[in-house]
Structure 1
Amino acid sequence: MSLPTQAQDALDAFAAAGGWEQRARLLMQWGERLEPLTDAERNDANRVHGCESQVWLVGEPQGARWHFRTASDARLIRGLLAVLLVRVNGLPGDELAAIDLADWFNQLGLGRQLSPSRSNGLNAVLKKMRELAHA
């Protein structure tokens, strides 16, 4: 399965980052690229439960493919969400179901920095994406 162009861009950018400090800065920058959610979209129905930070997720089908937008109150989480979105946006539901979250973050060199709670939160986001895609 080939990577979406933006996912490959993320992989290249993070591979070029020397250490954790550079990757953390890069994450913050990627987090600023998130498409904003409206105040109305930041509601309880769109809230992802299982995250320590507040995270909202909106998914829209575009034909057979999915487009997600997300927001969080935490800067580092916004960055992690941004690199998750470049990996999953534009995928059909069946490919979404096959995404290996741990593998993706390991490829980016971020796996070791994911605390169990962050990992659980990102898994909760991916789970909600899959639920939306199969609703």
Structure 2
Amino acid sequence: MAAPAFEEIVEDFEFLEDWEDRYRYVIDRGKAMEPLAEALKVPATKVDGCASQVWLHPVIENGVFHFDGDSDAMIVRGLIAVLRALYNGVPVAEVPGIDARGELGRLGLNDHLSAQRSNGLTAMIERIRLVAAEQV
């Protein structure tokens, strides 16, 4: 079972009937995030492999993984919010073992994202896993 914040998203998705509503929900989650500070939007935090501009800023405190992120695309910003619900607050040693694709599959996202968005999502997941693995 995933983190409670992610389980909340799964439950919310069950109540949303169509994909237009689900996309709107993901976008709204992204809009609710604090924007990433401009000073953190640097090459070191930029995620390659995304069609849009994406930055992830991981922070590990007391062995617990957290990250903030931002994007110039609203749907991608929403996907960052979903990934934050999946990973934030997890012990860093457990991050590489999270089956993000499986968990996101519970939302049906794997089947409803364009190829470019799917590749970008994979790039974000790989960046998260890489950063966490470096800390273990």
Is TM more than 0.5 here? yes
Aligned to 1:5: 4
For residues 51-90 of structure 1, give each alpha carbon's deviation from its aligned partner in whole angstroms, at most 9, with x where no partner exists. Answer: 1110000000021110000100000111111111101111
Task: Answer yes or no: is the 8 Å Cα contact 1:93–1:130 preserved in 2.
Answer: no
Aligned to 1:80: 79
Task: Answer yes or no: is the 8 Å Cα contact 2:60–2:92 preserved in 1.
Answer: no
Aligned to 1:89: 88
- Write the distance in 1 (CA, Å) between the matches of 2:98 and 2:119: 15
Q: Compare 109-118 and 17-26 and name the one that shifted more.
A: 109-118
For residues 79-118 of structure 1, give each alpha carbon's deviation from its aligned partner in whole angstroms, at most 9, with x where no partner exists. Answer: 1111111011111233211222222222112221122221
- Write the distance in 2 (CA, Å) between the matches of 1:35 and 1:127: 23
- Write the distance in 1 (CA, Å) between the matches of 2:17 and 2:9: 14
- Write the distance in 2 (CA, Å) between the matches of 1:108 and 1:89: 18
Q: Compare 60-69 and 107-116 and name the one that shifted more.
A: 107-116
Aligned ranges for residues 22-61 of structure 1 at < 5 Å?
A: 22-61=21-60
Q: CA RMSD in A?
A: 1.3
Task: Answer yes or no: is the 8 Å Cα contact 1:101–1:123 preserved in 2.
Answer: no
- Write the distance in 1 (CA, Å) between the matches of 2:115 and 2:100: 13
Greater share of residues in helix: 2
Letter in 2 for 1:19: D
Q: Percent identity?
A: 37
- Write the distance in 2 (CA, Å) between the matches of 1:35 and 1:62: 20
User: How many residues end up aligned between the 2 structures?
Assistant: 134
- Write the distance in 2 (CA, Å) between the matches of 1:117 and 1:98: 25
Q: TM-score, normalised by structure 1?
A: 0.92
SS at match of 1:40: helix
Q: Compare 53-62 and 115-124 and name the one that shifted more.
A: 115-124
Runs of 4+ in 1 over 6 A off after TM superposition: none
Structure 1: unaligned runs, 5 residues or longer: none
- Write the distance in 2 (CA, Å) between the matches of 1:130 and 1:9: 23
SS at match of 1:68: strand
- Write the distance in 2 (CA, Å) between the matches of 1:32 and 1:18: 21
Q: Say if 2:21 is the partner of 1:14.
A: no
Q: Please report how far the alpha carbon of residue 45 of structure 1 lies from its aligned counterpart in structure 2 after TM superposition.
A: 1.0
